[in-house]
Amino acid sequence: MASNAHRNGVPRGTAKLDRLVSAGANLRATSFKSRVPPSSQSPGSALRRSSPASLAARNGDGVPGRVRVAVRLRPRNAEEMVADADFADCVELQPEFKRLKLRKNNWDSDTYEFDEVFTEFASQKRVYEVVTKPVVESVLDGYNGTVMAYGQTGTGKTFTVGQLGEEDTSNRGIMVRSMEDILADLSPETDSVTVSYLQLYMETIQDLLNPANDNIPIVEDPRTGDVSLPGATLVEIRDQQSFLELLRVGEAHRFAANTKLNTESSRSHAILMVQVKRSVLESEDIPSNENNESSHLTKPSKPLVRKSKLVVVDLAGSERIHKSGSEGQMLEEAKSINLSLSALGKCINALAENSAHVPIRDSKLTRLLRDSFGGTARTSLIVTIGPSPRHRGETASTILFGQRAMKVENMLKIKEEFDYKSLARRFEVQVDKLIAENERQQKAFEAEVEKINLEAQSRIAEVERNFAEALEKERLKCQLEYMDSVKQLEHKLVLSQERHDCNGFADVHGEGPGPSSANEIFEVKRMLENETNRRKAAEEEVEILKIQLGNHSPTQAGGDMEILNLHRKLEEEAHQKKKLEEEIIILRSQLLQMTYEADQMRRCLESGGSVNEFSAVDSAMSQARSSQLRDNGNAQKESVANLFEQVGLQKILTLLESDDANVRIHAVKVVANLAAEEANQKRIVEAGGLTSLLMLLRRYEDETVRRVAAGAIANLAMNEANQELIMAEGGITLLSMTASDAEDSQTLRMVAGAIANLCGNEKLLMKLRSQGGIKALLGIVRCGHPDVLSQVARGIANFAKCESRASSQGLKSGRSFLVEDGALPWLVQNANNEAAPIRRHIELAICHLAQHEVNAKDMISGGALWELVRISRDCSREDIRNLARRTLNNSPTFKSELRRLRIEY
């Protein structure tokens, strides 16, 4: 008991108040510093970095931490309002100075200072925030922690510690609020939390979750001194609801009785043990070199397992037998309670006075709490008192217990173990990924080599066939020309003879032949003779060549030169013929187009249209060359169909390989227009049109050719069967190369559209990603044109949808390829784009990515969770809003993060 002259080192006298104010200010400053959490790491992270304090604690140095003590005053109850109506309260609180006065009589009182003083109006939340939350944060950082309530029977210990708050959530006690914070900070994938709920009744430890375990032994590790209860029930907690159910079961099995001091007096000490296991990463700095120059490099992080324990103790109330009226079994219970509390008080006195002997083994309660007082745990004690002057002695005893506990000093330490299993699993996953990637690359390389060989063989066979056909055509052409020349000469000879006969008839009548007719006849005869001689010479030369060809040997160099000359001449002739055919096809297409325009003008004039109407028709026809209008769409299709039938698809595809750039451009435009019609796509692919279009992307750097060819491929890619052919012939690789080289926005739009169509095929996901399709799409965003970005967003949405469907069917596991290739930052950045098509596709992509739980952590760290919440509230399309809401409700990771951030959705 403190003397009248001094209380906690504060002398009485005229300067007493000033010194109290100064002491109170210093104590508040010290208390505030001690309440700062030992780690500034933000909650919710799955893996934490070890802080310097934690390193010191783990290495055995320890971190000093005094037991923090708070006092809470219970409000008057109905009985005390009647019985103590004529008496003043024996307790006076000064919470602003963290000070308490215990009245001795009407003119004198004792003053005590605590770490915190709560009035009868203090809320449960404030008591938890000040007393318990620093301990919970220390437990999450790896330290052991203890929170204990001590006081007389009926002063509100169980209300403060164990109230469930089922009817009024604001009344939730320390146990419920502690578990809420622990669950919100842990990651369900890497961390775990288990709970035991016990009672110490009549010096026997009993399991409140399994009453059959009614005598659990205490086991102490002789090496470390750690206390364990091997027979206690351990329950793993995943959510708050299961924890509340566990507390209800435990409270139903706890011993309680009706006494004069409390209608539901706890007859046992309730002990809640929460064991937390979480994974952390430790990074070590490389030491400085010989020149004392520190290095900025760090060693690879070590995976560690950090184990900590939170013990929440609701002590049974101390009582005096003559006041509580206990008899029989209740009397024996009261004796046991008072003995265990007395043993606890002796241990605290010994620790406060730095005694050499601490009587830990006098009671099972002190053995269980050996780590809480003088051990390695961060401990907070809340003492509860009542306002009634009738119980001044019990109140004074409780206050002195708290004062002695404030002198106890603990050394906080962290228990960490190296996580070999986690590191081995991570390495196994990495090795499996590398093996699978190597096999994919090897297969892709072998397939590419095989495809190149087949393509080369087909090209060689085609060239040989074309050469043989060209040679035969040239031979026939020469024969036809020779026969035409002979016929012309014979015709001229007949005409000459007829004129000669006419001249002879005139000579008979006295007119001689004119000199011009004679010369002309002579000239015709000479030409006929020359032509006959040439024919004979050509026939002889052909016979000679046949003989030489039959007798040809490697040593006959002259014959080889002649054959080479003939081949060269044949090739030149074939080239000239090919150019003429190309010009004929172009002229035919232009003629068809001009015919179509003339028909339009004629119909307009026949209908009696004016000049303005004719101008309007002309304008419409010019627009029809770029886009099919509703009025003249059928006529234009008919024009293309006529060209298709008259010229032939094979000849049009042949023009794609023309040396003339204008011919090549015109031919690829015709093929692109044909590919726009679904009825023509199959014929184009069967005739080799797809291969020719891909060759254009491979060979030519002309921007117009590449743009139109990419557009034609995009049209063909709308058909699922064609999509597999495009992938099989290396189309995605060629499209990716075109995307990286092109700068024109229209070309990039066509390429992005083709890749977007391919992204909608579930069978092609792995091959599309391995050949650079996703990276090509993300590279196209450099253009910035809205039409281009719309196609990119559509492709990513198609890919995300197919991935989501494959994951739900069990065909794919692991993170999304889009997340691995870095698409998530672009999606988050453009989720609020002003262009509606871009925004809609990006919102769909985010919703589909969020449906797979393995992507949740990346989406939270990348800021996509905020966009998902916004979509569920503000999206203009109802189906997308509903999809976002359903995804948020089905994801445990998202729900935990939103609860931690206190966000309603």
Continuous segment of H or E residues that includes residue 640: helix 633-647
Is the Cβ–Cβ distance between 371 and 58 less than 8 Å?
Answer: no
Return the structure tokens found at 440: 């994919």
* Contact assessment for residue 202 and residue 333, using Cβ atoms and an 8 Å cutoff: yes
For residue 373, report the phi and psi dihedrals to the nearest 5 degrees. -120, 110
The answer to whether 682 and 722 have CB atoms below 8 angstroms apart is: no
Distance, in Å, from the CA atom of 564 to the CA atom of 559, rounded to the nearest integer, reads 9
Closest listed residue to residue 692, CA positions, set 722, 712, 663, 717: 712
Q: Is 156 annotated as a binding residue?
A: yes
CA distance 585 to 662: 13
Tell me how far apart the alpha carbons of residues 280 and 302 are, in angstroms, rounded to a whole number: 8
What is residue 415's three-state secondary structure? strand
The answer to whether the annotation marks 60 as part of a ligand binding site is no
State how far the alpha carbon of 190 is from the alpha carbons of 48, 138, 278, 389, in Å: 11, 19, 6, 53
Quote helix, strand, coil % in the chain, to nearest 5. 60, 10, 25
| Residue 194 is assigned to a ligand binding site | no
Instruction: Give the angle subtended at the CA of 424 by the CAs of 421 and 428, to the nearest 5°.
Output: 135
415 close to 221: Cβ distance less than 8 angstroms: no
Q: Tell whether 163 is in a known binding site.
A: no
Burial 371-394 (b: 16+ CB within 10 A, else e): bbbbbbbbbbbbbbbbbbbebbeb
CA dihedral 672, 678, 679, 683 (to 10 degrees): 60
865: how many CB neighbours lie within 10 A of its CB?
Answer: 24
Is 723 labelled a binding residue? no
Centre a 10 Å sphere on the Cβ of residue 342 and count the other Cβ atoms it contains.
Answer: 13
Tokens of 499: 């004129």
Q: Please give the Cα distance from 499 to 491 (Å, whole number).
A: 13
Supply 553's token pair: 């040997």
**SS3 annotation, 653-666:** HHHHHCCCHHHHHH
Q: Select from 904, 832, 897, 903 the least CA-distant residue to 867.
A: 832
Rounded Cα distance, 90 and 219, in Å: 44
**DSSP state for residue 87 in the 8-state scheme:** S
How are beta strands 409-412 and 204-207 bridged, if at all?
unpaired
Per the annotation, does 857 bind a ligand?
A: no
What is the number of other CB atoms lying within 10 angstroms of the CB of residue 483? 10
**Is 154 part of any known ligand binding site?**
yes
Residue 567 phi/psi, 5° resolution?
-60, -40
Helix (H) or strand (E) holding 467: helix 420-508
152 annotated as a binding-site residue: yes
Residue (of 434, 449, 530, 456) closest to 486 by Cα position: 530
Q: What angle do CA 156, 99, 407 make, to 5 degrees?
A: 85
- As annotated, the binding site includes 151-158
- As annotated, the binding site for ATP includes 151-158
